[in-house]
Each structure stands twice: as C-alpha cells, then as structure tokens.
Amino acid sequence: MSNILIEAKKIRKEYKMGEEKVEALKGVSIRVKEREFIAIVGTSGSGKSTLLHILGCLDKPTSGKYSYRGKETKDLSDKELSSLRNKEIGFVFQFFYLLPRENILQNVELPLLYRDTSPEMRNNMAREALDKVGMSHRINHLPSELSGGERQRVAIARALVGEPNLILADEPTGNLDTKTGEAIISIFEELSDAGRTVILITHEMELAEKAERIIKIRDGKIEGG
C-alpha cells in the first residue's frame, strides 16, 4: 500500500467578482496516493482549475484542510510554499506559459534558478529534461518559433526538471490537435510509469480514460464523491 501524498478535506473556495461572491469550490474532499495517475474531469467553470491551483499550493482555500505529505499547508509561509512548489510540484498549463523572451533552455532552467544549483548543473539538468520530451534539438530557439505541441513539450520539460513528485497538468492538450494531444498524454503515462504522481485536468473523457482513476467535478462538487 502506497503512502498518501495529498489529502484535501472539505475544501471551499470563494472569489469576489466585482460585487458578487462566486463559490468555485463547495466542499471538495480528495485523497491521492503516491504514484497514482488521476484525471479530474469537468466542464469549464466546474472549479477544476481552482482545485488544481489549491492542490499545487498556488492558492489557498477559503476553508477546509489541505495536507501535502501530512503537512497542513495553511500554516506554511510564502517561502515554504514556494519551496514546496519548486521541489515537489511541476505545473503544466493549457497555454504553456513559457517566458517569451527567453530561449527554450533558459525556460526549462527557470525552476532551478530558485534553488542552489550551479550554472553547469542547471544546464545539464535542463538538457536532460528536454531530452526526455524529445526537444533537445531546439534549445536555442524562442518559444514563438515553436509549434504548439513543441511548446507543450518544453513546458513539460520545465515541470520535470526539478524532479518533482507531483505533476499537475491543467488541460495540457486543450490547445493542441488530437494527434499531438495524444502524444502529450503518452508522455504523462510514461511519467506515471516512472513513478511520479500525475493529476491531469481535462474535459475530454477520452483522454481521462488513460488515467487509473477518474474524478468528476461539477459546480464545485465531486460527483458521487
């Protein structure tokens, strides 16, 4: 039996949109074991991205308990949360979010800049990560010179470079054609096989079915959960 990596209990999240209060999450509880490959499925506006941000320690819940490796994140300082994001978590976004003015290698090196890593070490680790996603041939290019699929591979390399335990992917194929999307998903499958915990957000059931477990979310609540 594997250890529990993530435990979220009755997570609620409210936003203020102008005057109106929007409740994005209405008490979500979720438990993820280490090495699991999970897909979170829901329509747009269902709160799945908000959930992912909270799981990734980018955002804090309005109420509820969220523990990562048994440690409650509510009590962590900005520095500790940042370090957690840096060392434990790798994000992959729908719109890639690469830095437009930096080349591929520099983009992948970015997480390592916020650690004590020597320049050579950074370089080697970034090249290795790019090699894993099959992008080592274009390290000197700018993101704008790449296709969407290639950009997403670079973004995945960036998520991987710090050797995180948890990969969080928010609609990683949303901006790609079906064929490219499938290739990207197969990278996530490989990562899962290699022993990483992967949480994939998508609205396409077809892609979600590649995961070991599917969690459906609707109107800020887990369906049947």
Partner 1 sequence: MKKIFFHFFQDFRAYKIRFLLVLFGVAWGTTTIILLMGFGVGMMTGIQEGMSGMGEHIAILWAGQTSIPYKGLGIGRYIHFVPEDAKLLREKIDIIDEISPEYIAWGKPIKYKEMLRQAKISGVNPTYGKMRNLVPEDGRFINKLDVEQRRRIIFLGTEEKEKIFGERKAVGEKVLLNGIPFLVIGVLKEKIQMSSYSGSDEQAAFIPYTTFKVMYGRRYLNNIVYRPVSPELAEKAQKKVYEVLSKKYKFDPNDKEALSFWDVTETEAMMSKITKVIEIFLALVGAMTLLIAGAAVANIMYFLIDERTKEIGIKRSVGATAKDILKQFFIESLLLSSIGGIIGIGFSSFVLHLCSFIPRVGMLEFFGAPKLSPEIPLVTFIILLIISFFAGYFPAKKAASLNPVECLRYE
Strands 221-222 and 37-41: unpaired
Token readout for 11 is 């997570």
Q: How far is the CB of 179 from partner 1 (least distance, A)?
A: 27
Of the pair 33, 165, the CB lying nearest partner 1 is at 165
Q: Name the nearest CA neighbour of 28 among 37, 42, 16.
A: 42
Q: Name the nearest CA neighbour of 55 among 79, 38, 151, 97.
A: 38
Q: How far is the CB of 205 from partner 1 (least distance, A)?
A: 26
Amino acid at 34: E
How many whole angstroms from its chain centre is CA 162? 13
Q: How far is the CB of 97 from partner 1 (least distance, A)?
A: 5
Q: How far is the CB of 155 from partner 1 (least distance, A)?
A: 10
Q: How far is the CB of 1 from partner 1 (least distance, A)?
A: 30
Of the pair 31, 101, the CB lying nearest partner 1 is at 101
Of the pair 24, 187, the CB lying nearest partner 1 is at 24
- The interaxial angle of helices 148-160 and 104-113, nearest 10 deg, is 30
Q: How far is the CB of 224 from partner 1 (least distance, A)?
A: 28
Token readout for 175 is 């901006």
Cβ burial of 33 (10 Å; 0-12, 13-18, 19+) is middle
| Footprint of partner 1 (CB under 8 A) | 53, 56, 58-59, 78-79, 82-83, 85-87, 91, 93, 97-99, 101, 110-111, 113-115, 158, 162
The beta strand positions in 18-72, using DSSP E, are: 20-33, 37-41, 63-68, 71-72
Of the pair 53, 216, the CB lying nearest partner 1 is at 53
* Phi, psi at 15, each rounded to 5°: -115, 160
Of the pair 31, 71, the CB lying nearest partner 1 is at 71
Of the pair 6, 54, the CB lying nearest partner 1 is at 54
